[in-house]
Amino acid sequence: MPHYLIDGNNLLGKLSSRDKSYRAENPLSRELLLMKVISYFQNRKDEVTLFFDGYESDKLRAGKIKIVYSNNRPADKLIRERIEQAKSRSNLVVVSSDNEIRNYARVCSCSVIKSEEFSVNLFERKAPEKEHYNDEKTTSEDKEFFLKLFSQGK
């Protein structure tokens, strides 16, 4: 089952270009984002963790969505730690436009969705397309080696 790790502040930044209600100075912006995310994942079985920078100001009710506040640390570090701790990284879907997080997630075989793409999906309620890990350095010689290796016992 996919587990979405969403960089909440990063996503808010992308949503604010579509709708001024999502601007950081709006005290309700996090709650509005949470409602959009809840609505998007309502009929899906995916796990979702939404990360926010800073401290919890209001107790947001999230249903099946887990909210993590970074307190005095950057949320990016918490996302990275969550990737490191995951037992099945290939089930993780990281939503962020932060290049450092996206590159790290790809190296760890996670799927990646840019926040701007995911924000469109939130408004259109369609399933996002994930960027899958792809090691372009695999040569035809490597492929031949593995094909021979795995076909030996047949």
3-state SS, 46-110, equals CEEEEEECCCCCCCCCCCCEEEEECCCCCHHHHHHHHHHHCCCHHHEEEECCCHHHHHHHHHCCC
Among 3.30.1490, 2.30.30, 3.40.50, 3.30.70, name the CATH number for the domain at 3-151.
Answer: 3.40.50
| Closest-CA residue to 115 (of 15, 23, 2, 3) | 15
What pLDDT is attached to residue 147? Answer: 64
Tell me the pLDDT tens digit for each residue of 17-68. 878 888 877 778 888 899 999 999 988 889 999 999 988 876 676 778 999 9
Which segment of 2-11, 44-53, 56-65, 97-106 scores lowest on mean pLDDT?
Answer: 56-65
Let me know: does 32 contact 24? Beta carbons within 8 Å. Answer: no
Domains of the chain by residue range = 3-151
**Residue 139, pLDDT score:** 62
**Owner of token pair 């962020």:** 96
State the average pLDDT over residues 72-98: 96
